[in-house]
Structures are given as structure tokens and as C-alpha cells.
Amino acid sequence: MKTGIDAISFDVANIHLPIKTLAIARNIEPEKLEKGLGLIKMTLPDVHQDAVVFGANALTKLILDNKINLSDISRIYVGTESGIDSSKPISSFLISLMEQKFGEDSLAECDVVDFTFACIGGVDALQNCIDFVKLNPTKKAIVVTTDFAKYDLNSTGEYTQGAGALAMLVTSNPRIIAFDENWATSTKGVFDFFKPYRTISKEAITQNESNNPWFDNLEA
């Protein structure tokens, strides 16, 4: 039985800067960016937008456009390098937002986790979900890739920045693309990217909100 991507939805920032405008301002030949890198516009998130917002919008579109029954979804895995909370994955935020819209506990039995790895986190999440569906052909999974790439002004990476998200439904007998068993892995711990945590002055939350779900499950 084939396994792969059955449906895709996306969300990107609505504010765009033409790459030619940026190139002229930075004294760069526009064709280097337009033809050399294939860049046309650079997306800029609005003040209320972050990786969670983009991911939630893409996921909502996927659910609505494909009339997905959330009880059929066994996992929602996220690939990102733009987490907003070191203790809470983006996927957990997505669960909360989806249940606000589609009903409380509609994803109570859905597994969630983030894969944090520049450029390849989404691929790792997809591979994991494909393997899961292969072992459980009647179940479905969703992969969300969401990021906000931001570089210093006038830096060499400035023109490659942007923001947006994809949501992919992984099923058996997919309509878009199926994947075979030919996977290869090559890994090396290099330092081509560095994205330090941005600290903010905020009191740590010490409530026991996570206790109630544990007791509810024990009672069930």
C-alpha cells in the first residue's frame, strides 16, 4: 500500500517587499537575486504574526478545504526552527487553537511534537509520519512546517528571509505523491546557522494546569 501526501495547504505573510526594491537599496544587481536565486518578493510578518499563527492558519485551511474529521487524525507533527516557548512545542499551541474552533477535546487523542532543525525539521516530521501511517494504514497524520526566518539588516542573508507555513495530510493511497522505501541519511554537526534564544523579562508560570488532564485520563 502506498503512503504519502494526500493534501496541502499553506499560509504566508500578506506584507511583501519586491526583491528588486531591496536589491537596489543594498546596491546588489537585481538579476543576481531574481534569476540567480529565483527570488521575487520577500514576505514580512505583521505585528501579530509568528510561527504559531502561520501554522494555525495553514492547518485550519487544510482541515476545512478537505473536510477532515479530526477524530481520524492520530498525530500532528511540526517541523520548525522558530519555536516561541522552550517548554511548549508549537504543535501544542496548534492543538489548543484547533479545539477552540472545532470543539473541545476534538484532538484529545492526537500525538504532538516539534522537530527543531534548520531546513530539515519538516522532512524529519514527514518521514516519521509516513512510517507511522505505513504501520497503521487506516490512520492519518498531519505535518506542519512553519518558520519565521529573520536576518540582520544589510546582512548577506537578509534577502533570503521570509515567513509562512505548510500543512500536509499524510495518508495511505495519497492523491498528490507517494514515497517508496529509498531513503538515505547523511549527517554532520556543522555550524552554518546560529539562532540564539531571545530572552524576555517574564515571570515563570508555576501553575498546575497539566495535572487535570492526567487525572481525567486516569478516571477514563
pLDDT tens readout for residues 3-34: 999 999 999 999 999 999 999 999 999 999 99
Q: Is the dihedral of CA 107, 112, 118, 123 positive or negative?
A: negative
Q: What does the pLDDT read at residue 183?
A: 82
| Domain residue ranges of the chain, discontinuous segments joined by + | 3-12+48-219
Q: Note the pTM of the prediction, 2 decimals.
A: 0.86
pLDDT tens readout for residues 158-199: 998 899 999 999 999 999 999 988 888 888 888 776 676 666
Superfamily name with CATH number, domain 3-12+48-219:
Thiolase/Chalcone synthase (3.40.47.10)
Q: Are 119 and 82 in contact (CB under 8 A)?
A: no
pLDDT tens readout for residues 55-102: 999 999 999 999 999 999 999 999 999 988 888 999 999 999 999 999
Q: What does the pLDDT read at residue 206?
A: 52
Q: Are 195 and 81 in contact (CB under 8 A)?
A: yes
Average pLDDT in the chain = 89
Q: Is the dihedral of CA 122, 124, 130, 132 positive or negative?
A: negative
Q: Are 170 and 129 in contact (CB under 8 A)?
A: yes
Higher pLDDT, 128 or 191: 128
Host H or E run for residue 32? helix 30-34
Name the one residue in this structure whose C-alpha cell is 534564544: 197
pLDDT of 145 above 80? yes
Q: If we measure between CA atoms, which residue out of 107, 71, 76, 101 comes closest to residue 90?
A: 76
Confidence of residue 50 (pLDDT cuts 50, 70, 90): very high
Q: What does the pLDDT read at residue 202?
A: 55
